Structure 1
Amino acid sequence: MNEESSERRRRMHKRTVECDGYLRDDGLWEVEARLIDTKPFAQQDRYRGELKPGEPVHDIALRLAVDDGMTIVEAETIMRSTPFPTCIEVEPILQRLVGERIGKGWRALVRQKIGPLETCTHLSELLGPAVTALFQTMSYGKTPEGGGSLDNQRSSTERPFFIGGCHSWRTDGPIVAEMFPQFSAKRPAGA
């Protein structure tokens, strides 16, 4: 997108989502995700007084640590800036996910464990990019230097989590047929 069209539009809001993934010394995988909402103009906040341009309306972060099987071992939320003082009451909510496995049915599991009125919409939204960043963090394995992202999974007898998860990884597509023929549903030409 281009910033040059500023004479035809005015920015009214900016949301930044940033995720960082780590391999910890104890062998756990960790992701930190942060969502920041700002306005480019001064505004009056009922509970915090005047917010200057660029000062966060929302500054919400979460941290998840998982084992190699994608079971959540640790979960934490930090509500740094919120529009209402009651928002911080949801900080402990992600603890309900400790012991749960991220995988097929993940979104439904989260909805089952955490009701919509028990959490913050922004925190719920942040779980999506956090989990996909976690998958990317783990994709090269624990010894990534010089390897390809799939080297540690190609000879797998257990279907990798990403197969069947998007257009390129569909089981009847050319990528799965080439890279993971053991999980391919692609029919040979003329069959």
Structure 2
Amino acid sequence: MPLGNNDKWRRHMHTRSVQCDGFLRDDGLWEVEAWLRDTKPFAQRADRFRGELNPGDPVHDIGLRLAIDDGMTIREAEAMMRATPYPTCIEVEPILERLIGERIGPGWRETVRRKIGRLETCTHMMELLGPAVTTLYQTMSYGKKPQGRDTLENQQSSGERPFFIGGCHSWRTDGPVVAAMFPQFATKPAAKDAKD
């Protein structure tokens, strides 16, 4: 069912799929494998680099893998370009290796911009880093022995302010969720202006 109250006829023109899977490896590292795939539901005319694409053939099929330790430091990083519009796109596959040794956390986006220049990489691979990193956070959220645990148990027992506090509407410091679950980090709601 489409979003909204849309009674207009529309033709399906493009699908972008992003899939991210998180893993705990037997060596103790956390890993994410992420894929971005663009397809069209119609045949595309032959171009000078790839020839004709049939409906559903990937325009882009780009993947990346990051492995991190418990401190969020990247230990392994790689990319794979299975389908790209231009043969030169695959030249950027090794670029993610520059992130090895960097820590994911505050200032992460700036670190990526500093380490990897815009013209040295693929826009789609850089877009894929966002959901890959958030998938790592979700992957680690229950700890290494997740069965029967609450997702916030690790954060509540650590005594440190969790990274997600102050990151969205529900986790704002002056809201009811933080007040109930992390009262030590809660702030009072801002006073409302009195209306005359």
TM-score by length of 2: 0.90
C-alpha separation between the residues in 2 aligned to 1:159 and 1:75? 28
**Residues 32 and 63, structure 1, Cα contact 8 Å, conserved in 2:** yes
Q: SS state of the match for residue 57, structure 1?
A: strand
Give 2:29's aligned residue. Answer: 28
CA distance in 1, matches of 2:47, 2:187: 56
Q: In structure 1, which of residues 158, 161, 182 is the aligned counterpart of residue 160 of structure 2?
A: 158
1:31 is paired with a residue of what secondary structure?
A: strand
TM-superposed CA distance for 1:188, in Å, is 10
Q: Which residue in the other structure is 1:111 paired with? A: 113
SS of 2:177's equivalent? helix
Deviates more, 1:128-137 or 1:169-178: 169-178
| Offset of residue 11 of structure 1 | 0.9
Of 137-146 and 162-171, more deviation after overlay is shown by: 162-171
Residue 130 (structure 2) aligned to one of 128, 131, 145: 128
Separation in 1 of the partners of 2:126 and 2:190?
42
Unmatched segments (≥5 aa) in structure 2 = 192-196
- One-letter identity of the residue aligned with 1:172: D
Q: Which residue of 1 aligns with 2:74?
A: 72
Distance 1:6 1:123 in 2: 35
Equivalent-residue separation in structure 2 for 1:150 and 1:46 (angstroms) = 53
Offset of residue 45 of structure 1: 3.0
Report if aligned partners of 2:174, 2:190 keep a CA contact under 8 Å in 1: no
What's the CA shift string for 1:65-124, capped at 9, x where partnerless? Answer: 000111100001000000000000110111111111111111111111111111100000
Structure 2 contact 37–59 (Cα < 8 Å) conserved: yes
**Secondary structure of the corresponding residue to residue 177 of structure 1:** helix
In structure 1, the partner of 2:18 is: 17
Instruction: Tell me the number of residue pairs that the alignment of Structure 1 and Structure 2 aligns.
Output: 188
Give identity over the alignment, percent.
74
* Cα 1:64–1:56 shift into 2, 3 Å: same
* Selected match of 1:179 from 159, 178, 181: 181
3-state SS in 2 of match to 1:160 = coil
Partner letter of residue 113 of structure 1? K
Query: How far apart in 2 are the matches of 1:88 and 1:6?
Result: 42
